[in-house]
Structure 1
Amino acid sequence: MKAAPIAVVTGATLVMVYTALISSADGITKLLAGGYAAPQLYAVSGGLVALFCVLANRAKPAPGGLGTTRPYAMALRSVATVIAGVSFFYAFRLLPFAEVFIFIGLMPLVAGLMSGPILQERVALRVWIALGAGFIGVLCLFPEGLHAVTFGHAVALLACVSGTFSMVMARYVGRYERNSLALVFYPNLLNMFVMAAVLPFVFKPMPLTDLGLAVAYAALLFGARWLLVVALRLLPAYTATPLMNLQFVWMVLIGVVFFGEVPGSHIYLGALIVVGSGLYLVYDQFAPRRQPEAVMPPAE
């Protein structure tokens, strides 16, 4: 079933705002990744995001509160979210900031593969062509390619697969849940418990500056994930994920301002192809489809 035009525009806009928020959170991750282990950041941020969900639900209560009607699917999403978060944390530590984007660029293709068996959403050939074009655009960003497969690349690939699965499950659960906050609450609650169990073994004292960055990270993450959950109710996963490639623009800006990474002209060419692919997939949600001829009901 095609999404309504207003829903498509709203979903696309939410995804674009999401890219700005999550890229800012990624920048903080890279700043902190060199000095701390993943559990330290995620124990704090997971607890704060879960708390933000409780406060937001109290401010504007939703039917059913933070309960879930799909506990098994929610558990799968939560576990995948934790794996993706830790994997991206170490990917940013082990790889250059822009190189991680290669694996973020793979997420629309992985979403297309997952959408059929999990969501029963048929991905048409023209959509696969657009997804392939988007991936080519990602490859254009890095004309020299990967010199060699490293552990960092394997971690980034795990982040790509688990992160995409988490988003696909968010769309699945979102079909049944009336409160989008639940989809943010449980993954972050699990994140807090898992990371808190490991925290005593890796804890390092944090100065107020770094603690403030961790709080800012949690606030950005809360806003980004909430917007994404709402967007995934309005857009198919394979449409939303190419739009997420717009975060490359934000990653370039963050890289230039905070990490001194100056992009070459090939990066802008690749970004143009990626953005064009994402815009086409949004347009595809508007395009009219030929309806099958009506069949006359049998005479009674």
Structure 2
Amino acid sequence: MIKQASGAALIGAALVLIYTALISSADAITKLLAGGYAAPQLYAVSGGLVALFCVIANRAKPAQGGLRTTKPVAMALRSVATVLAGLCFFYAFRLLAFAEVFVFIGLMPIVAGLLSGPILGEHVHWRSWIALGVGFIGVISLFPEGVQAVEPGHLVALGACLFGTFSMVMARYVGRYEKNSLALVFYPNLLNMIVMAAALPFVFKPMPLTDLGLAVAYAALLFGARWLLVIALRLLPAYTATPLMNMQFVWMVIMGALFFGEFPASNVFLGATFVVASGVYLVMDQFARDRGQRLSGRRTSMPPAE
């Protein structure tokens, strides 16, 4: 049992790391297209494609219950939060440097920790709160000039952080009851397509074949990333899974330098060090506590010696 629990946690951690590579690539495409198009144009196309991918995947390997959900209210809340987070991130990438958005991605473990108790009933150990506090110090260090350095783009990115984290926590909640992880990807993207398509006639611009191809690639990356994340959140607590997403910083720095000519200042790397270190500690602490609980359970279940 101990090996099985540790194996599940390791698989969950690996899936989150793969997720960071996929979602960072999708974010890079968002930044490439954000300057030339309005958000509804990208998200109407990508939302419809991701929903279609879900239908195709479900037909290829039908799951129990299909794409139906047993938690419609929770699924609706996740879907709305996903749409709002996508909008906020779109405009955050337009207004801020690529790696700078990581500041608010780094806040997500703290928000997840706050939400895990009331929504998921998951106890967050005091050592985890210390690690989350260290991560917050890292985030603050990314603003050496103080409050006056905050711009509208930062507030939009904060909204993306709050909505995005709520969406992920709700995914873990629904994932406790749903057998088919595709449903958690299907409904948010279906709503994304419906909402954005309503606004599309007012903002539509013809897209050359190259940009259309980027939009399709974005949808494929988003589908793969969100599917993996839903599965990972079943294997790891939200406050443990989200710090691993700080690996996005590495990808965002690399892509920012290669594609956008953006090179973060030294304080950005310092802050990222604090944030990533807190994430690593959270994962190690979770493994240790899971192992201790399993060992304690085995001892108490053994029959007394005669």
- Please indicate the TM-score interval, normalised by the length of the shorter structure: over 0.9
Deviation at 1:146, TM superposition (A): 5.1
Divergent runs of 4+, >6 A: none
Deviation at 1:94, TM superposition (A): 1.6
Alignment match, 1:204: 205
Residues 202/119 of structure 1: CA separation in 2 closer, same or farther (3 Å cut): same
2:195 is equivalent to residue 194 of structure 1 = yes
Amino acid of the structure 2 residue aligned with 1:251: M
Alignment match, 2:220: 219
Q: For 1:249 and 1:64, how far apart are their aligned partners in 2?
A: 39
Deviation at 1:275, TM superposition (A): 2.2
Runs of 5+ in structure 1 lacking a partner?
Answer: 295-300
Show the 5 A alignment for 1:128-147: 128-145=129-146, 147=148
Cα-Cα RMSD: 1.9
Q: Is the 8 A contact 2:74 2:170 kept in 1?
A: yes
Amino acid of the structure 2 residue aligned with 1:125: W
The structure carrying a bigger helix percent of its residues is 2
Deviation at 1:18, TM superposition (A): 0.4
Q: For 1:227 and 1:75, how far apart are their aligned partners in 2?
A: 20
Q: Is the 8 A contact 1:184 1:226 kept in 2?
A: yes
Secondary structure, counterpart of 1:147 in structure 2? helix
Alignment match, 1:297: none
Show the 5 A alignment for 1:5-84: 5-84=6-85
Secondary structure, counterpart of 1:127 in structure 2? helix
Alignment match, 2:122: 121
Amino acid of the structure 2 residue aligned with 1:267: V
Residues 209/156 of structure 1: CA separation in 2 closer, same or farther (3 Å cut): same
Q: Is the 8 A contact 1:88 1:159 kept in 2?
A: yes
Alignment match, 1:90: 91
Deviation at 1:277, TM superposition (A): 1.4
Secondary structure, counterpart of 2:106 in structure 1? helix
Q: Is the 8 A contact 2:128 2:282 kept in 1?
A: yes
Alignment deviations for residues 146-205 of structure 1 (CA, whole Å, 9 cap, x no partner): 534332222111111110000000000000000000000000000000000010000000
Runs of 5+ in structure 2 lacking a partner?
Answer: 301-306
Amino acid of the structure 2 residue aligned with 1:168: V
Q: For 2:192 and 2:17, how far apart are their aligned partners in 1?
A: 25
Q: For 1:248 and 1:143, how far apart are their aligned partners in 2?
A: 18
Deviation at 1:285, TM superposition (A): 1.7
Residues 38/239 of structure 1: CA separation in 2 closer, same or farther (3 Å cut): same
Q: For 1:156 and 1:146, how far apart are their aligned partners in 2?
A: 15
Q: Give the count of matched residue pairs.
A: 294
Q: Is the 8 A contact 1:249 1:271 kept in 2?
A: no
Amino acid of the structure 2 residue aligned with 1:235: L
Deviation at 1:143, TM superposition (A): 3.4
Q: Is the 8 A contact 1:48 1:215 kept in 2?
A: yes
Q: Is the 8 A contact 2:106 2:243 kept in 1?
A: yes
Q: For 1:145 and 1:36, how far apart are their aligned partners in 2?
A: 32
Alignment deviations for residues 70-110 of structure 1 (CA, whole Å, 9 cap, x no partner): 01100000000000001110111122222221111111111
Amino acid of the structure 2 residue aligned with 1:115: S
Q: Is the 8 A contact 1:46 1:189 kept in 2?
A: yes
2:245 is equivalent to residue 250 of structure 1 = no
Q: For 1:234 and 1:144, how far apart are their aligned partners in 2?
A: 40
Alignment deviations for residues 90-131 of structure 1 (CA, whole Å, 9 cap, x no partner): 111122222221111111111011000000011111000111
Secondary structure, counterpart of 2:107 in structure 1? helix
Residues 203/50 of structure 1: CA separation in 2 closer, same or farther (3 Å cut): same
Q: Is the 8 A contact 1:47 1:192 kept in 2?
A: yes
Q: Name the TM-score, length of structure 1 as normaliser.
A: 0.93
